Structure formats: C-alpha cells, structure tokens
Copies of this chain bind each other. A is one copy, B any other.
Amino acid sequence: MNVTDEERSRILSRAAFQDPDDEIATETVRKKKRMPIIRETVEPPLLESNDDNAVVEVGSLNVLNSNFESLDYDICENTLFLDEERKKGYKFIVKKSVARWMIFLLIGVLTALIGVSIDVSISELSKIKFAKLQNSLNVCMTDNCLCIPLFIFLAWNVIPVLIGSTLVTCIEPIAGGSGIPQVKCYLNGIKMPRIVRIKTLIVKIIGVITSVVGGLACGKEGPMIHSGAVVAAGISQGKSTTLRKDLGVFNYFREDHEKRDFVSGGAAAGVAAAFGAPVGGVLFSLEEGASFWNQSLTWRIFFASMVSTFTLNLILSAYHGHPGQLSFSGLLNFGKFESLNYDLFELAIFVMMGGIGGILGAVFNLFNYKLTVFRIRYVNTKVKKIMEAVIAAMVSTAVPMLMIYFINECKPLETDPTENPVQMFCGDGQYNTVAALWLQVPERSVRALLHDPPAALSFLSLGLFIMVYFLMAVWTFGLSVSGGLFIPSLLIGAAWGRFFSQILQFIFPGAGWIDPGKYALIGAAAQLGGIVRMTISLTIILIEATGDITFGLPLMITLITAKWTGDFFSEGIYDYHIQLSGVPLLAWEPPPLSGNIYANQVMSYPVVTFSVVETVGNIIDNLSNLTHNGFPVIDSQPLDEVAQSNKPTSSPKSCGHLCGLILRDQLIVLLLNKAYKYPSGMVDQRETINMFRNEYPRYPRIEQVDVAEEDRHLKIDLRPYMNPSPYVVQHVASLPRVFRLFRALGLRHLIIVDDMFGVVGMVTRKDLARYRVWRHHGRIGLEELKISANFKS
C-alpha cells in the first residue's frame, strides 16, 4: 500500500478533528479506530481493536498491561531547575560530580558486603546441614536407622523454604524469583513498583539464603544483581520512605534520571560481585539498560563494578584465612583450568553443543512457560503458593535421597576433593559419588563437574542427575521464593557437557583432546545461553569466571549458536515472564517494515491540555477523571472558557501553540503545596524545587490532596514548573523515527503535532511496545498487541 500525501492528510484529519465528545477520554478506555496495516506478507488479520475492559485471558503473551508507567528519564529543564543550576554555579556541578563518584564507590562496597553476607550465610548454614547429614548417614548405615538422616534432610530443606516462601508470598511478592527480569524492565525505563525498596531487599536476602540452604534448584546470582540495584537506588536518594528516614543528603539526585543511572551501576556491581566479572557487569548494564551510551556514566559503572569485585575479594580472602592476599576472584569461580586448549576442529563440536544447549534451553523455557501459566491460573492464593514451595522442597529431599540410596557408585576417597564424603554402601576408604554431587551447594557441584578427573561419574548417575535436576530447575523457577537460575542452568549444562565428553571418549577412546572439564564448561555455557539468551554480557561473564581469555571464541560461538537455535523454538525465559506480566518493554530497534505506519496511527488521542495559567478546579477535575500522566500546556485558549466547560479539553487543530508539558505528579505537588495561593514567583525558589524532591518518588494520589471548594477558582501559573520544550514530532513521522527518538532519549511522553504545531496526539511507551514482529510457519509479519488495564499475573 503506497500511502500518498492525500491519504496521509486524510489519516491526520481523522485524528485531529475527531469529535472529543464521542469518546470518554481515558487512557484505559481508548477505543481507537486504527487504520488496518496492510502488508503483503502478513496472513492473519491484525488483532481486533482492543476491548480494554475485558479481563485478559490468563497467561496470554499478547497483551500489554497499561498500568505500567515509564520513568521520566528526560530531564525536566524548567525554570526552577535552571535557576538552581545558575544560582549554585559550577561548584554545584562539581559537588554533584564528587557525590556521584562517592555514591558509586558506596554502591560497590555495599553490594559486595551484601554478596558476602549471602554467600557466607549460605556456605556456613550448608556446611552445618551437610555435615550433620553426612554424619547421620554414615552412622545410620551401620545402625540401620536411615529414616533419621532422611528426617534431618527433610527438616533442613522444608523449614528454610517455608520461612523464605512465607516472607516472599506474604510480605513482598516482587522479591520472588531472580529479580533479573524486573531489573531488566527497570533499566529499560519502566517504573516497576516496589522493586527498589528496602523491604524488597531484606526479603530478597533472607529469601535467597533460605532457598539455597533449603536445597531448591536455584542460585544466588540473580538476587545479588537485584540487591545491587536496590542498594544503588537506596543510597543515591539519601532517604527511605519505608523507614521514614530522610538524611537530607543527595536530594539533588531525587529524580528518575539520576536514579536510573545509579541503578545501572548497582546492577553492574551485583553482577561483578556474583560472578567476579566487573567487565561483564558493565556490559550487563549496557545490554539491558542503556538508552544512550554515556561515556562518563559507563566509567562510573565500571568503577562500581571494580570496587565491588575488589571488596568482595578482600573480605572473602580474609574470611578464608588469607587476609590481604587478593587472589580470591569472585563468588562464581570456575576454578583454575590446568590447560584450556582447543584444536580447530573442536569448534565444530562446540557449535553442535551450542545447538543442543539451544534446544534444551527452549524445552526448559517452554516447560517453565506452561507451568507459569498453570500457576497464574490455579496456584493463585498465598497458601497454595507456600504449599507449592514446601512440596518442591520435599521433592528436592526425596529424589536425592533415593538416588544416593539406589545408585551405588563408589570411588576411593583421594581422587575427588569432595567436602562431605558419604560412605553409604561403599567399602571403607571409599565414598558414594552421587552423594558427593548432591550433598554440597550447587556452585561446588559445578566446579566439581568442571574439574573432576575423567570418568568420575558413570553414565547412569550423570544421566539421571541431568534429568532430575533439569525438571527440578524448571519447577523451581517461578516458585514463590527468591532464587535465580544461573547456577542451575550451569549445573545442568556442565553435567550434560561432561556426559557428552564421556560419549566422545567412548567413540574416540584415548583421544588426547577430550578433556571432560572443557566440555563441561562449553555445555554450561550452551545451556545458560539457551535459557537466558543474553549474549554480549554473558560471553564476558563466562570468560571472566573462567579467568582465561583464550577461551573467548569457543564460548562466543557456543553462545551464538545456543541463542539462535533457542530463538528458533521459543523466547528467552526472562522474556516469557516479562510478557506474561504485560510489561511494555521496548526493543532496541523499531520493528522491521514499520516505515509506513505513521505517528498519527500510533498516537493516543484526543489529548487533554492545560492552559499556561490554569484554574485549580479544572486541574483537579481532569486529574480525578483521567488516568493521563502528562498534559501538554498551551497558551491560546481563553482561560474562562476552559474553566466554564468543566470537561476534559481535547485538542482541536486551533488549540493554540504548545508551550510545554506538565506531569500529573508535578500538578499534585503544586496542589499539595497550595501553589495557587501565591502569585507566580512568590514562592521561595529553593523551596519550590525541593518540594518536588521531598515527595519523590511516592507522590500522593489526587484523592489525597485536599483543596477547599472556594479555592477552585484560583489559578496556577504552570510556566515555572512545566518542561518548556518537550520533544515533539510531526504527525507524518514514521514509526521507526518516533521509536528511535523515544528510545534514544528515554522519553515518557512524546507529543505529536500537526503542520501548524497544534497538539494532535501523544505517544507513550505502550503505543510503541505494542508493535511486535510475529513469526509463524516460516511466515513473518507485524502484529499489534492488546493493551489492557485489567491484568492478572
């Protein structure tokens, strides 16, 4: 379809002159008659015009939740902001800059401290648990009282999981899971409610310790990344609303732009602490978060990551009895590989393993997706959620015990440095290898799989372990407990990598190049890549965890293959969970072939505007009746006219020229502070900019603002508070152009204007996130997602 100029103006006129009375102008009840997008390659018709009131089908991947808002990453350079800057001068800039570096330093140190606490708690508790268990097992083998170790094991698994699950379910559900999807969404520019609160942090820390100690198939890496993010958001604000404590420092950082920048640093520091991968941390933050690559911000993020790695290193070296010796590199340490070499032809094997990883990852994700949908539908009360977690803990007890009991594989004690050798049915001086695999924290099992001598485990025990652990990991991710899936993925991958090497050993007996550790490493990478589908940062994290740069290309090739194979069959696991919650994540690029969709087809309209000097009554009415968050400010309409017609003002073409943009939150703060009582400029300047900061980030709702009836006719001059030059695009701009502008500048509202600079529409995140490439039976097309407010997840 060739859109000619005439058609375009027709489209526009439909948009611009639509009678505003026809429709109730709320964002949640937007019924737009969109032009159908005709494309030769698209077979099925686009989704029907959204009936936004209907409850969304549970577990749909095709609906966006309209309750999610964007962060205000665009700096609102209003008069107050500029006045402060000018008054305080360069010293203020320098002060802010020094404060930023200090905060990044603190972020690094505190994130590492949290990482250490989690790690030490887990390892100390697990040490006690496994020692007791080992003891009891060894004693009871002879005394024939095997139900005692079983009971000990059960208690040590069920009680922690019960505690953790109760905390997560009842106190802070957002602390559940790994936290990476949430951090990813936040860094993408979405206001994720409650994810960077101190309560979330505490629940998360206790939650992850209990889940890992409780023997669930989960790891502590994701939660550490989330913790870093919370720490960053907390420190940088100098106050905690939860604790009702305002230190009064750093109040100039109380805005979304600064906060998001700090959170990038926190997430990076978290990665650095979790994997001992400072560079990987930086690239994680960039891959997930960056809108606009900013050199000095990146440098500060790198600094926080390095400090985090260093602090962790320092403390853990001391904890392990080598104070001052800085050789302990990160929590996830693959250990020293004696000789990590590969021959050229092995690259083909790595590609094959990448493919296997991609397929297994896709299977994992699809299983987990189905399970998650099931959970949304049926496991929907707190009690059921806690029950499910407890049952998972029980199964995680029973299965290993059965495996240890029935698979009787023995090795002499010297060959394998396991922490808790269990004799079971083995002869004296021997230990049960399956018990060694199960009775230690999963990190140690990964390291064992990477470094154990060849043929440490039989085909049977390894194969069974892979199957069981795979299913348990699928089950665990999405339980109402805290815990990530990096370690389980690595463990599964390392196990089948080792299995693979034993097959190779069987086919090519005696071949020198078959090192089980090497293949376990590649398997681990393939499996992780197949599940999470991260690319750049993951490659670097694995290189750093291996501590050997020469193995970069094999890891990269494996990860590329795993990602491409996996993408062919399913989405990444985080993407499933994000889509299920309807979060309007913006991709990196506009959807392909969307060049003939124009801004006026994308935008929401009609737009409610305010006059530069607006009456209090009109503001209150509009804020109460609408869910809009941004209002263009225009200056031509006679004020009285607006005040009299007590209904939302829409944007006819003649509405006058655009003067600025004001946000709901700003208006609420103005009403709260009774700005209408003072003539413009009378309010002390320093007070006014801080009045916004004092309320940040949790603004009251309009219902909580108390305005006397007789004040409703008073006026507020919005000019000092509004953003005086919001970014605009013309109604004829194409979707890719709108998308790039929106994404690159991290916008929340983008105003669409007509040829005379009249406001005709507004584009927000959901309007752009709605377009998605759709693939089916080798065909490809563009589809529009539904948007709904009635969301259930």
Contact = CB atoms under 8 A, between A and B. Distances in A.
Interface of A: 1-2, 5, 39-41, 75, 77, 79, 81-83, 85-86, 89-90, 93, 278-279, 282, 286-287, 290-296, 298-299, 302-303, 306, 309-310, 314, 324-327, 329, 341-344, 535-536, 539-540, 543-544, 547-550, 552-553, 556, 560, 588-589, 592-593, 595-596, 599, 657-658, 719, 724-725, 727-730, 732-734, 736-737, 740-741, 743-745, 753, 755-757, 780-781
A693 to B, nearest CB: 18
Given A5-B719, A725-B730, 4 more contacts: A93-B592, A279-B279, A287-B295, A306-B553
Contacts of A291: 292-293, 744
Given A298-B536, A536-B298, A82 B596 contact: yes
Nearest to A339: B327
A325 B309 contact: no
A571 B82 CA distance: 30
17 contacts: A2-B79, A2-B83, A39-B89, A81-B595, A93-B592, A292-B293, A292-B744, A295-B535, A302-B539, A325-B343, A326-B341, A326-B342, A326-B343, A544-B549, A547-B550, A599-B725, A741-B741
Contact of A593 (B89, B290, B309, B595): B89
Nearest to A740: B745
Nearest to A323: B344
A569 B729 CA distance: 44
Contacts of A753: 757
B294 A589 contact: yes
Contacts of A548: 547
B535 A299 contact: yes
Contact of A737 (B77, B85, B536, B732): B77
B729 A296 contact: no
Contacts of A553: 306, 309-310, 326
B756 A745 contact: no
A753 B744 CA distance: 22
- Residue among A292, A719, A781 with most chain B CB within 10 A: A292
A603 B272 CA distance: 44
A5 B657 CA distance: 14
Contacts of A745: 740-741, 744
Nearest to A282: B536
A655 to B, nearest CB: 12
A720 to B, nearest CB: 10
A550 B299 contact: no
A302 B730 contact: no
A292 B295 contact: no
Nearest to A40: B89
- Most interface-central of A82, A85, A296, A744 (chain B CB within 10 A): A744
A40 B85 CA distance: 12
Contacts of A1: 86
A550 B544 CA distance: 9
A407 to B, nearest CB: 38
Contacts of A724: 732
B309 A780 contact: no
A77 B225 CA distance: 40
B296 A589 contact: yes
Given A5-B719, A83-B2, A306-B553, A593 B93 contact: yes
B81 A588 contact: no
A317 to B, nearest CB: 9
A549 B309 CA distance: 11
A498 to B, nearest CB: 23
Contacts of A77: 595, 734, 736-737
Contacts of A588: 294-296
Contacts of A740: 292, 745
Given A77-B736, A89-B41, A293-B290, A326 B550 contact: yes
A730 B310 CA distance: 48
A550 B5 CA distance: 62
Contact of A327 (B282, B296, B550, B780): B550
A344 B292 contact: no
A271 to B, nearest CB: 14
